[in-house]
Structure formats: C-alpha cells, structure tokens
Amino acid sequence: MTAQSPASTAASPAPSSRARIILAGSVGNAVEWFDWTIYAAFAIFFSKQFFPEGNDTTALLASFGIFAVGFFMRPIGGWLLGIYADRHGRKAALALTIVMMAGGSLIIGITPTYATIGIFAPVLLTLARLLQGLSLGGEYASATTFLTEMAPNKRRGFYSSFVFFSAAIGILAASAVGWVLTSTLSDASMREWGWRVPFLIGAVGGVVGMWIRRTVRETEAFAHNKAAGVQKQPLRTLLREHPHAVLRIVGFSILSTFAFYIFVAYVPTYAIRHVGAEPKTAFAANTVALIVFMLLQPVFGALSDRIGRKPQLIAFALGYLVFFFPVMTSLGPTFGSILMVEIFGLVLYAMYTAIAPAIMSEQFPTSVRAVGIGTPYNLMVALLGGTTPYLLTWLQSKGMETWFFYYVLAGAAISLFTFVRMPESVGKPLQ
C-alpha cells in the first residue's frame, strides 16, 4: 500500500513562497546547462591553448574527447549523488551539485595553458570536466525530486516544468554570451583570453545559485522518510523492489534523448551541410524555436495537471512516429523551412519535457526517488546521447544518414509502448 506523506497533503504555498521554491529548484539547473554548453561552444577558441601540437582539427577533436569523457560521468553522478540526495536530503544534494559545476568552471577559467604548465593543463581540464559530468548527472535527479516533492499534488506538472525551462535559459544564455563576446572581441583576443570569460561567469553564477538555495527548507517528504529510516542499500532496493519503474524510466528516455540532440543540436548542422542553408539562417531559426520551447514548458506542465500525463506523452511519441520522417526529409535551406522543422520537433518534445520530472518522480517512493531517477535516466542519456554524434557522422560519411531516421522511429515506438502501458498518476500523492 502506498503511504501518504505530509507533503502530499500540504496546502498550496503562498505565491512568494512558491516562486522561491521554483527559483531555488531551477536556478542550479540553468547554471549547470550554461556551464555545460559553453564548453562545446568555446572549444574552438581554447583547444589550441591546451593541445598546441598538431593542427586546429586535432586540437578540437582532443577537446571534444574530454567533453565526451565528462558526458559518460553523468550516470555515475546520477547514481552517487542520487544516493546522497536520498540519504542526506534534496537541499544538501542541490548545494553540492551547484558547487561542483561552478568549481569545474572556475578550474577551466583559471587553468594556465599548455605553454605555461605543460601536460598539467589538459589534465586539469579533464578533471574539471569529470567534476562537471558528475554534477550534471546529480543535478537533474536532485532538482526533480526537490520541485516535485515541494509541489501540491494538483500542481506537480506545473512545478516540474521549470526543470527544462531553466535548462533552456542556461542554453540560451550561453548562446547570448557567445554572441556578445565574438561581436566585441577579435578572433585573436578570443583565443588568447576571451574564452575564459564565460567560464568565470559560470563560476559566479554558481555562487549566486548557492546563496538562493540556502534560503529554502528541506522537503517534508524527505524529512518524513528520514524519520522512518533511510535505505542502507538504495541501489539494491531499487533494482529488487522497483524493476518495472526502472524500465519505465529507460522507455521514457529513449525518444526524449534523440529529440534533444536532433532538434537542439543536429538540425542546424544538417541544414548547413546537406541542404545548403546559411549558418546564420540555421542558427537564427534554432534560437527562435528554443525560445518557443522554453515558453511552452509551464503551459504544458499546467495542462497535464488538468488532462493527465498520458495524453501529452502519447501525443509526443505518436507525433514523432507518424511525422518525423516526412518532416525531416522536407527540410529546406530557408529560414521558414528550418523553423517549421524545429517547431515541429521542439513543440512535441516540450509536451514530454514539461512533465518528465513529475512522471519520473511519481514512479518511486521517497526513499529511492533520486537514485531511481538519476541512475537509469543518465545511463540512457550517456549511451544514446553520447553515441548519437558519432553515429550520425559515420552514417553521413557513407551517404546513409536516413538510416538514423529509422533508428529514431524505433525509439519512438518503444517510448510510445511505455507511455501507453504506464498507469496515470496525475493528482495522486507521491509514494
């Protein structure tokens, strides 16, 4: 029988308290995604500072190799920091993840170049990325459990929507900083010192986020669970007692991972390289679509609290299954064509992201909620997201990129099956 914790019966907080809870739960996620994104965006400027031997391409590949290493630290972060959140509290985990991410950015921002300290420069860069990979893996689970446990039962979808709302803010902020710096500094200045600026901004943002998070209380669900005794072997308990919930998280994550990397990162590059679009046109369309995606998060979150989680999830997967192939193959070089393709992908994706934290939290009891979300979710993101760029590049080199579209359709079918089979959980108390 599912126990009802005090959090599940709590009245809706006052508007000022509600805003503070949402801000505290989501500010770190914005900082995390800002810091995560600027590495990829600015690698073209700092790669030769850490890998001076060889040409620009070799240095860039080495920098992205370190990026991939950080990527595969995410499931470890989801596991370790998920356990930490379930044992020591959501607030403690949120503080730890933001310190780790900001610390990683600070290390990158102040590390001397290869010309100054030799091999220790790329070593420190790698250590910073490992730290940030652990942090990002833990942040999603910690922020998700915090916001959903703080939310009233009938507004859990709305509260959870700010996890990806804040992620979009972080990505857009990174893009804006890149635009400002490259517009005001010369290429030589960017390569010499300008690339350090966004990492230092990220470190300062972490300090601000840490201060905001100190002002909120621990969730009542965790406090109630701690009084009853925390799990001594949470991962073992998770796999033994909640295998179906773990498999649901895997099913949830397949199509969503593809959707993120295709419509946030891949479509602009595909439009430039394969249909002859101008870079500024492709990235302008991508930016507009990301803004729409961000603004739709609270809309779809609130809608799910009224109509249920399953209708939106089924529409997301079914839309991709039916329309993804014809839409992608219709992509043209104009702003309107690229924008319509991006809008198609990101509006459907928003139906999922707005409520993903809620549906994941609703699968597990408080004692294993953070590790239950963090471990399988980040594992799937690492396996599918980490291999997607390589697979796409390889298929393109063979002239077989359309095969990737069939790969996505298979993922859509698996996720659709998962969504259809899952029980509806809207409005019910958390376990």
Chain segment 272-313, per-residue pLDDT in tens: 777 888 877 888 888 899 999 999 999 999 999 999 999 999
Residues 120 and 86 in one domain: yes
Model confidence at 328: pLDDT above 80: yes
Domain check: are 209 and 243 in the same one? no
Calculate Rg over the CA atoms of the chain: 21
Containing H/E element for 99?
helix 90-110
Residues 247 and 374 in one domain: yes
Same domain? For 208 and 323 the reply is no
In the chain, % of residues over pLDDT 70: 92
Is residue 3's pLDDT more than 50? Answer: no
222 lies in some domain: no
Q: What is the CATH number of the domain that holds 38?
A: 1.20.1250.20
The reply to whether 58 and 144 lie within a common domain is yes
Q: Which domain holds residue 410?
A: 236-423
Average confidence (pLDDT) over 151-162: 88
Report how far apart the first and last C-alpha atoms of the chain are (Å, whole number).
9
Same-domain status, 243 and 95: no
Above 80 in pLDDT, residue 235?
no
- pLDDT value of residue 333: 92
Phi, psi of 51, deg, nearest 5: -130, 75
Q: Is residue 167 part of a domain?
A: no
Decide if 168 is inside a domain. Answer: no
CB contact at 8 A, 294 and 33: no
Residues 117 and 63 reside in one and the same domain: yes
Domain-located, residue 173: no
Sign, CA dihedral 319-324-327-328, equals positive
State residue 388's pLDDT score: 72
pLDDT at 393: 66
Place 4 in a pLDDT band, splitting at 50, 70 and 90: very low
Instruction: Report yes or no on 430 lying in a domain.
Output: no
Which residues, 6 or more positions from 280, have their beta carbon under 8 angstroms from its beta carbon? none
Q: pLDDT tier at 15 (50, 70, 90 boundaries)?
A: low
Evaluate whether residue 155 is within a structural domain: yes
| 4 within domain boundaries | no
Q: What is the pLDDT of residues 103-135, one digit of tens each?
A: 999 999 999 998 899 999 899 999 998 998 888
In a domain, residue 258? The reply is yes
Per-chain mean pLDDT for the chain: 84
pLDDT tens digits, 17-72: 777 788 877 887 888 788 877 887 788 788 888 888 777 778 877 877 787 777 78
Contacts of residues 266-275 at CB distance under 8 Å and 24 or more positions apart, as own/partner, are: 266/388, 266/392, 267/331, 267/338, 267/341, 267/342, 267/345, 268/338, 270/331, 270/401, 271/331, 271/333, 271/338, 273/396, 274/396, 274/401, 275/331, 275/332, 275/333
206 and 271 belong to one structural domain: no
116 vs 315: CA distance, rounded Å:
55
Quick one: 197 and 280 in the same domain?
A: no
Torsion of CA 195, 200, 201, 203, to 10 degrees: 140
In the predicted model, what is the mean pLDDT of residues 379-405? 77
In this prediction, residue 228 carries a pLDDT of 56
Do 267 and 297 fall within a single domain?
yes
User: Would you state the pLDDT for residue 372?
Assistant: 85
Q: How confident is the model at residue 248 (pLDDT cuts 50, 70, 90)?
A: very high
Contact 418, 249 (CB under 8 A): no
CB-based contact 304:157 (threshold 8 Å): yes
Identify whether the C-beta of residue 204 lies closer than 8 Å to the C-beta of residue 109.
no
How far apart CA 252 and CA 358 sit, in angstroms, is 12
Closest alpha carbon to 418 in 310, 261, 323, 300: 310
pLDDT reported for residue 390 = 67
Band (pLDDT 50/70/90 cuts) for residue 256 is very high
212 and 257: one domain?
Answer: no
pLDDT at residue 106 in the model: 93
Least confident segment among 101-105, 314-318, 384-388: 384-388
Query: Sorting pLDDT into bands at 50, 70 and 90, what band is 389?
Result: low
Quick one: 267 and 379 in the same domain? yes
Domain total of the chain = 2
pLDDT (0 to 100) of residue 229? 58
